Structure 1
Amino acid sequence: MTVGGPVLVTGAAGFIGHAVSERLLARGERVIGLDNFTDYYDVALKEARVARLVDNFDFRLVRGDIASPELLAELVAGNGVRRIVHLAAQAGVRYSIENPFAYEHSNLKGHLAVLEAARQAGNVEHLVYASSSSVYGERPLGGSGFREDEPCTAPVSLYAATKRSCELMSQSYATLYGLRMSGLRFFTVYGPWGRPDMAYFGFAQKILLGQPIEVYGEGKMARDFTYIDDIVDGVVGVLDKPPADGEHRLLNIGDCNPVGLMDMIATLERALGRQAVKLMRPMQPGDVTATYADISAIRDLTGYSPKVALEQGIERFVDWYLSEIEQGGRGPMAAVA
């Protein structure tokens, strides 16, 4: 399904970026993947993800900094890029407290560089970018899911603040320059090839090593865990539905089924066949009690409907994780081998 020029996917070595690139390639698209392979977590895992893409003739990997306006301008205008999936960012709520300037660089300068490249090219048909459920701030679990038209004025982490800032920058560029944009508010994404800093991934490592796990919020938190294949369905579905000129829309992309942290741990224990030693800890700065996506808007636009329940998704993650160990381990899996 090749439409015009190649799709630029930023963060192509990341969890979601490599999965989106793989899906686009599978349907006949050409993809330019940009990533700078930061060491926020083990680079070996990023290299292993990209290794799944580079043998495809229609994939081109560019190693570079998302916050370089010159590089972005050249990639977009110089390659006839008409569609952009911008997923590169400095992730992690807690890390934003330790290293705030990494978020200023990657999230704010990086997003602005993408916006400017699209503006200067003048013919970008659709820019889809990653936002986050963290923009909603602290919300108790209960009632209906978080809706896109709710005010998002009280971020509880710098990460959330940068993501909300990206949404506001996008709105201004849509208004000023007529760009077509869709911002996707991702809710907790999990699955094979995921990020080692995510709770389910780190818990699996420690349980297999017989080490205790730290359960924050006294286990009373809940997350709208969303399997990676369902996320990719949503991203590609939105990419195929560009808005009108000058329209900037925000869409939740989640499972619409929040699960308690203790229930997730129990699911992981069953899949691993081992019990975790749990150390109960208070809520950490920057964390929120619950996330819960109202997915009415993306469902009405694309037919998006999550298919993978948490138990099935965790089983797939564990199968992948154990197979990596059996093969000698890559990066963060090597410690368990």
Structure 2
Amino acid sequence: MAPVPSLPKKSLGKVLVIGGCGFLGHHIVSLLVTSSSTTSSQISVLDLHTTRNRRPESDNVAYFDGDITTLSSILPIFEKVKPDVVIHTASPTLAGGSKAMYQKVNVEGTKCVIEACQKTGVTALVYTSSASVISDNSSDLINADERWPVIPPKAQTEYYSQTKAEAEALVLAANRAPASPKLLTVSIRPATIFGPSDVQLIPAMINVYRNGQTGFQLGDNQNLFDFTYVENVAHGHLLAARALSATSQLNIKPLDHERVDGEAFFITNDSPVYFWDFARMVWKACGSTLGTEHVWVIGKDAGLALGGLLEWGFWLVGRTPKLTRRQVRYSSMTRYYDISKAKKLLGYAPIVGLQEGIERAVGWFMEEAKKEEEKKGQ
């Protein structure tokens, strides 16, 4: 585990975490509460529903229910909290929303958040984008950095990524904008987040293990991939918030090669791993003792052909198959990033290593499953 950068402890003032009861959001809130390097005079959470992932009352975190897609819903909360820093993480998941929902929340909701920031004197806005904004979901990304272009809408095959890119553009355009010259903004692009309370990656891999399906592999497993532990992503957000807060106190605009405001940053574990090796690390943490002798490798081309047939056949009966062309492409592509910019300008380094992150995540899900079994037995 890498040490946390030895920066002096500083206060961010009043911090409002939007989506603070979600997967990433509540980890950001927890790190704000427990961090030894960052403090806040007041921590508030704005979410559509604030009933889950709440901190203990002793932590004095204020919770507000609000809909970011309606300015009239969130503006009174901003006026009451008067945040100095806003961290905006709210979004449907990659596999959990419709096109209409992605557009409404990611784009229209972000417009409302920006306007609320401008109307209430917020000085720092940190937005959670996605590393997928530069991926067309077919071409390999090898050590890609922030100089790589965002995929234009006509070439983007994932509408989630398209709306994330649109929202990011809105946020970065709001940096030092005439409507509120003191508002500084930054975009964080995490790559494939996992961890405790993950709703997509780790639960799916655990289910594969429990169903005895670890003997299948799509592709030749020569594709390096970035997976990022959630606490590292939270850490990156807080470093960005600190950098914006420090910049806002300067009387001069930083030089282009030094500036954080108006910029985007990739955040990863800085440990790319072969895709199926990561899966097997998860299965080993679950208790698997199997190697690769039992594995049946389905080549990428064969997998795409099979996925296409299954999609067509299941479409006829109004269902979705367990194997799709999207899954084949995702598990066969190379996709890892160069985070030198975040290291240099944010002082970022992962604080939880990949192996430790996997063990923490699997351990959390195992404990939750144990609790559920105990409830059933009562």
TM-score under structure 1 normalisation? 0.82
1:306 Cα shift? 1.5
Distance 1:215 1:133 in 2: 24
1:284 aligns with 2:326: yes
SS in 2 for 1:90: coil
The 1:73–1:290 alpha-carbon spacing in structure 2 relative to 1, beyond 3 Å, is farther
2:105 and 2:220 map into 1 onto residues whose CA distance is 32
TM-score, normalization by structure 2: 0.74
In structure 2, the partner of 1:6 is 14
**Residue deviations 1:57-94, cap 9 Å, x none?**
521112222212112221222222111000001120x4
Residue 49 in 1 paired to residue 17 in 2?
Answer: no
User: Structure 1 residue 285: deviation in Å?
Assistant: 7.7
Q: CA RMSD in A?
A: 3.0
CA distance in 2, matches of 1:110, 1:213: 42
1:185 aligns with 2:189: yes
Cα distance, 1:156 vs structure 2: 2.7
Deviations 1:15-52 (A, max 9, x none): 11001101112255321111224xxxxxxxx85522xx
Could you say what secondary structure the match of 1:205 adopts?
helix
Q: Secondary structure in 2 aligned to 1:150? A: coil
Gaps of 5+ in 1: 38-45
Which residue is 2:264 aligned to?
250
- CA separation of 1:113/1:287 partners in 2, compared to 1, >3 Å: closer, same or farther? farther
Identity %, equivalent residues: 24
**Residue 111 of structure 1: aligned partner:** 110
CA distance in 2, matches of 1:291, 1:163: 18
Q: Is the 8 A contact 2:24 2:230 kept in 1?
A: yes
In structure 2, the partner of 1:306 is: 350
Which amino acid counterpart does residue 149 of structure 1 have in structure 2?
R
Inter-CA distance 105–229: structure 2 relative to 1 (3 Å threshold): same
Amino acid at match of 2:326: Q
Residues 218 and 176 of structure 1: CA distance in aligned 2, closer, same or farther (over 3 Å): farther
How many pairs are equivalent? 314
Q: 1:71 aligns with which of 53, 70, 73?
A: 73
1:125 maps to which residue?
Answer: 123
- Kindly state the Cα deviation for residue 115 of structure 1 after the two structures are TM-superposed: 0.3
Partner of 1:33: 45
* Cα distance in structure 1, aligned partners of 2:362 and 2:21: 21
In structure 2, the CA distance between the partners of 1:13 and 1:287, relative to structure 1 (3 Å rule), is farther
Post-superposition shift, 1:216?
Answer: 5.6
Shift of 1:159: 0.8
Shift of 1:278: 7.2
What corresponds to 2:162 in structure 1?
Answer: 161
Deviations 1:165-213 (A, max 9, x none): 0122123322333220010011111112222x22x32111331244569
Contact 2:174 2:185 in 1 (8 A): no
Q: Partner residue of 1:18?
A: 26
> In the aligned structure 2, how far is the partner of 1:13 from the partner of 1:233?
17
Q: 1:255 offset after TM fit, Å?
A: 2.0
SS in 2 for 1:84: strand
